[in-house]
Amino acid sequence: MTNTASEPTETDESVTEYEAQLNKVLADTDETAAGEDEVSLQLPSLGLSRRDFMKAGAAVGTIGSLAGCAGVMNNGEGNSGGSQNHSGSGDVPEHFVPPGEHDEYYGFWSGGHSGDIRVYGLPSMRELTRVPVFNREPAKGYGFDDGSSQMLEDAGGYTWGDSHHPSLSETDGKYDGRYIYVNDKANGRVARVNLKYFETDAITDVPNVQSVHGCCIQSPDTDYIFANSEFRTPLPNDGRDIDNPDKYVSLFTALDPESMEVLWQVEVDGNLDILDTDKDGKWALASAYNDEEGVEIEEMTKNDRDFVKAFNVPAIQEAVDAGNYREVNGVPIVDGTKGSSLNQGDEPAVRYIPTPKSPHCVEVTPDGKYGMVAGKLSPTVSIIDIEKLSTEPDSSKVIVGQPKVGLGPLHTTYDDRGHAYTSLFIDSQVVKWDIETAVNSPKQSEEAILGKIDVHYNPGHIQAVQAMSTEPTGDWLVVLNKLSKDRFLPVGPIYPDNDQLIYIGNDKDDEQGGMELVSDHPVYPEPHDAIFATKDKIEPAKTWDKSDYKGEKEYVTESNSRVDRVDDETVEVYTSVKRSEYGLRDFRVKEGDEVTITATNVEGSQDIVHGLVVPEYDINIALAPQDTREVTFTADKPGVYWVYCTYFCSALHLEMRSRMLVEPRD
Ligand code: K7E
Ligand code: CUA
């Protein structure tokens, strides 16, 4: 550990303060929980004193000397051996992918507040590319040409986003390789990335919500995209009810996966958090906290339980079709609050499933039988039996298991052999457990636990290969750790995250349940989640297909490169682009003209990309083979402006130029 202990008192103070805060939350829970039913936190059954819990929590809360010990503290049981061993044991298959060879899996990471999607290969963990989504990206010209900048403008004109939950489109429960959908937690948006071109092709700014956190496709056939608003706000949020937090609402939103239009929303009590669906197109499950509907932390953590919401999608659609809604900002809003008449009867629109307070997430098993709700503040995972959602009228009986897994459970993923893997934020571990054993053993018991492995440090999401589809393959697991601390060369006070690759293909009977840590990978902050598909699921185009934009943009050849003057103040410039020349060696416009340049890369050979940039005009477009892009600007500065290519495309790349000649308008 490079951070040495015992200097700044400010650090100590913040630890003490954090301890006090958590202590208060737990004390309240403890008191109200006494003598109550099994959904309470039940700290005594942890087998740990509250003091131990506090210490672990404090270490998490402060990126100081104590926090460096988070992993170490939990090594007391001597299960750290394998985690120091980067090469793994002889049972781990080769994860080094030699030069020139390809990975077995595509991995798609949400970039967090970098706003993008990162594409990695697995098991090499090599970053292959980034797909800008909510962010502008000069390296790919995204947010610079007319098409993408207009899309960003129409989606609210924000300059950034916070991408969290990437979801791959499915057909019949299997990844179909068409799209990734991802939310913007910051500005309440949902975007779609086209996996033929690895390019964002749609962004929807969801009305009536401020922040979209949970986001997923509906299994098995991607009939809807669902999005949860985490923050409760007045409806509409136009200045009314500012001082009336009771009137704030949280909405569950359905979008059309093709048009990306918002279809309807459902209003609920409490807030909404993360989402997953069953595998039959009926239930969407949303974790939730703040059933208290408080606006300050003390209010949000007062009660010892919250409610997972189960949305009955056909019933909601029926209510919408029957006109059973109110409309706000053009969106039908269905009443899904606890007392709603739509929630009565055999097919309630929304069911409220009681869980321990502040659960974090829901992830449905690949066979669609169970939805796992990680406890976060509770050391348990609550197992929802999805079939019972349709058959069991008593909501508290829908939870059919509740294994005690460890401290700070956040996310759960699956292999192909009936095992679940849960990240433990506070323990800095991954726990492997057996699903059917957990269902068949008493709640709060540890019978289902098969082993734990240390990770470094404070894991958030974990994801196993193909685990969100009906076809998990069960050999690799990635743990997205929030902190890297002393794992890499220091790079200043903002550290990389540390994504760790774990082999899970061996069900060995050891302390780690056969899990083996094989490699560490620093990642640029701060990815939130990832999803993995076998390489055969994704079939990207190698060059553009001009028929994909036929009728929208002209395919400009060398012979039709030209300057069209539309009127006294509007000019259209058309140029082809190839090694090592532009179709126009120069072009002439007048000061004050609105200029639109349409440029086509006429080359057919793969990987020959050209740029077209105009210095001092902030123009920067990138053109893959057979692609056409447009850019519009005002030529407000007279003079000579060299147009050049940004991609090193040939031996004559530097000579690949044109000139924009802007004549003074007298
Ligand atoms: Cu758990 Cu935004 Cu998916 Cu982060 S959420 S950990
Ligand atoms: Cu084209 Cu460099």
Find the 459 Cα to ligand 1 centroid distance in Å.
10
Q: Is 304 a domain residue?
A: no
Q: Indicate if ligand 1 lies below 6 Å from the C-beta of 113.
A: no
- Residue 490 pLDDT grade (very low, low, confident, very high; cuts 50, 70, 90): very high
Average pLDDT over residues 560-579: 98
Q: Look at residue 134 in the predicted model and tell me its pLDDT.
A: 98
DSSP reduced 3-state for 128: strand
Q: Look at residue 51 in the predicted model and tell me its pLDDT.
A: 35
Find the 18 Cα to ligand 1 centroid distance in Å.
21
Q: Following CA atoms 48, 50, 51, 56 in sequence, which dihedral angle do they give, to the nearest 10 degrees?
A: 70
Average pLDDT over residues 215-232: 96
3-state SS, one letter per residue, for 138-173: HHHCECCCHHHHHHHHHCCCCCCCCECCCEEEEECC
Burial label, 651 (beta-carbon count in 10 A; 0-12, 13-18, 19+): exposed
Q: Is 528 a domain residue?
A: no
Q: Look at residue 357 in the predicted model and tell me its pLDDT.
A: 87
**Integer Cα distance of 529 and 164 in angstroms:** 6
Q: Look at residue 62 in the predicted model and tell me its pLDDT.
A: 34
Find the 529 Cα to ligand 1 centroid distance in Å.
7
The rounded percent of the chain whose pLDDT value lies above 70 is: 88
Q: Is the bond preceding 526 in cis, omega lying within 30 degrees of 0?
A: yes
Strands 275-277 and 250-255: what pairing? unpaired
Q: Look at residue 2 in the predicted model and tell me its pLDDT.
A: 40
Q: Look at residue 226 in the predicted model and tell me its pLDDT.
A: 98
Q: Look at residue 45 in the predicted model and tell me its pLDDT.
A: 34
Question: Ligand nearest 652 Cα, by number?
Answer: 2
Distance of CA 282 to the CA centre of its chain: 23
Q: Following CA atoms 597, 140, 154, 262 in sequence, which dihedral angle do they give, to the nearest 10 degrees?
A: 140
3-state SS, one letter per residue, for 58-84: HHHHCCCCCHHHHHHHHHHHCCCHHHH
Give yes or no for a contact between 135 and 160, defined as CB atoms under 8 angstroms apart: yes
User: Is residue 510 predicted with pLDDT exceeding 80?
Assistant: yes
Question: pLDDT of 423-450, one tens digit each?
Answer: 999 999 999 999 999 999 999 999 999 9
User: Is residue 64 predicted with pLDDT exceeding 80?
Assistant: no
- Residue 90 pLDDT grade (very low, low, confident, very high; cuts 50, 70, 90): low
Q: Indicate if ligand 1 lies below 6 Å from the C-beta of 590.
A: no
Q: Look at residue 55 in the predicted model and tell me its pLDDT.
A: 38
From residue 221, give the alpha-carbon distance in Å to each of 172, 194, 469, 470, 478: 5, 17, 11, 12, 26
Ligand 2 atom nearest to 610, measured from its CA = 1
Question: pLDDT of 147-162, one tens digit each?
Answer: 999 999 999 999 999 9
Q: Is 239 a domain residue?
A: no
Q: Which residues contact 101 (CB under 8 A, 6 or more apart)?
A: none
Question: pLDDT of 119-131, one tens digit each?
Answer: 999 999 999 999 9
- Residue 28 pLDDT grade (very low, low, confident, very high; cuts 50, 70, 90): low
Find the 116 Cα to ligand 1 centroid distance in Å.
16
User: pLDDT higher for 411 or 32?
Assistant: 411
Q: Which residues contact 274 (CB under 8 A, 6 or more apart)?
A: 165, 213, 214, 228, 286, 287, 360, 361, 362
Ligand 1, atom 2: closest residue by C-alpha:
164
Find the 423 Cα to ligand 1 centroid distance in Å.
11
Q: Indicate if ligand 2 lies below 6 Å from the C-beta of 25.
A: no
Q: Look at residue 21 in the predicted model and tell me its pLDDT.
A: 73
User: Is residue 577 predicted with pLDDT exceeding 90?
Assistant: yes
Q: Indicate if ligand 1 lies below 6 Å from the C-beta of 165.
A: yes
User: Is residue 84 predicted with pLDDT exceeding 50?
Assistant: no
Q: Which domain holds residue 594?
A: 546-663
Q: Which residues contact 81 (CB under 8 A, 6 or more apart)?
A: none
**Integer Cα distance of 654 and 167 in angstroms:** 41
Does the predicted model carry a pTM greater than 0.95? no
Of 243-247, 385-389, 416-420, the range with the lowest mean pLDDT is: 243-247
Identify the CATH number of the domain in which residue 649 sits.
2.60.40.420
Of 32-41, 110-119, 178-187, 255-264, the range with the lowest mean pLDDT is: 32-41
Q: Is 24 a domain residue?
A: yes
Q: Is 637 a domain residue?
A: yes
Mean pLDDT, the chain, rounded, equals 89
Q: Look at residue 299 in the predicted model and tell me its pLDDT.
A: 81
Question: Ligand nearest 214 Cα, by number?
Answer: 1
Find the 648 Cα to ligand 2 centroid distance in Å.
5
Q: Look at residue 20 in the predicted model and tell me its pLDDT.
A: 76
Q: Indicate if ligand 2 lies below 6 Å from the C-beta of 165.
A: no
- Residue 11 pLDDT grade (very low, low, confident, very high; cuts 50, 70, 90): low
Strand partners, 385: 370
Question: pLDDT of 176-198, one tens digit each?
Answer: 999 999 999 999 999 999 999 99
Q: Look at residue 23 in the predicted model and tell me its pLDDT.
A: 66
Q: Indicate if ligand 1 lies below 6 Å from the C-beta of 164.
A: yes
Find the 136 Cα to ligand 2 centroid distance in Å.
22
Q: Indicate if ligand 2 lies below 6 Å from the C-beta of 610.
A: yes
- Residue 27 pLDDT grade (very low, low, confident, very high; cuts 50, 70, 90): low
Q: Indicate if ligand 2 lies below 6 Å from the C-beta of 656.
A: yes
Ligand 2, atom 1: closest residue by C-alpha:
610
First to last CA, the chain: 69
Question: Ligand nearest 647 Cα, by number?
Answer: 2
**Integer Cα distance of 25 and 284 in angstroms:** 30
User: pLDDT higher for 513 or 70?
Assistant: 513
Give yes or no for a contact between 410 and 426, defined as CB atoms under 8 angstroms apart: no
Find the 361 Cα to ligand 1 centroid distance in Å.
8
Q: Give the CA diameter of the chain.
A: 88
Q: Is 122 a domain residue?
A: no
User: Is residue 470 predicted with pLDDT exceeding 50?
Assistant: yes
Find the 582 Cα to ligand 1 centroid distance in Å.
47
- Residue 18 pLDDT grade (very low, low, confident, very high; cuts 50, 70, 90): confident
User: Is residue 631 predicted with pLDDT exceeding 90?
Assistant: yes
3-state SS, one letter per residue, for 527-581: CCCEEEEEHHHCCCCCCCCHHHHCCCCCCCCCCCCEEEEEECCEEEEEEEEECCE
Q: Is 43 a domain residue?
A: yes
Question: Ligand nearest 212 Cα, by number?
Answer: 1
Ligand 1, atom 6: closest residue by C-alpha:
460
Of 51-55, 187-191, 593-597, the range with the lowest mean pLDDT is: 51-55
Domain count of the chain?
A: 2
**Looking at beta carbons, which pairs linking 13-19 to residues 24 or more positions away fall under 8 Å?**
14/61, 14/62, 14/64, 15/58, 15/61, 15/62, 15/64, 15/66, 18/57, 18/58, 18/61, 18/62, 19/54, 19/55, 19/57, 19/58
Q: Indicate if ligand 2 lies below 6 Å from the C-beta of 286.
A: no
Question: pLDDT of 311-330, one tens digit each?
Answer: 999 999 999 999 999 999 99
User: Is residue 87 predicted with pLDDT exceeding 50?
Assistant: no
3-state SS, one letter per residue, for 270-333: CCCCCEEECCCCCEEEECCCCCCCCCCHHHHCCCCEEEEEEEEHHHHHHHHHCCCCEEECCEEE
Give yes or no for a contact between 307 and 291, defined as CB atoms under 8 angstroms apart: yes
Find the 239 Cα to ligand 2 centroid distance in Å.
52
Q: Is 23 a domain residue?
A: yes
Q: Indicate if ligand 1 lies below 6 Å from the C-beta of 276.
A: no
Boundary residue ending a domain (21, 40, 60): 60
**Integer Cα distance of 248 and 264 in angstroms:** 18
The rounded percent of the chain whose pLDDT value lies above 90 is: 81
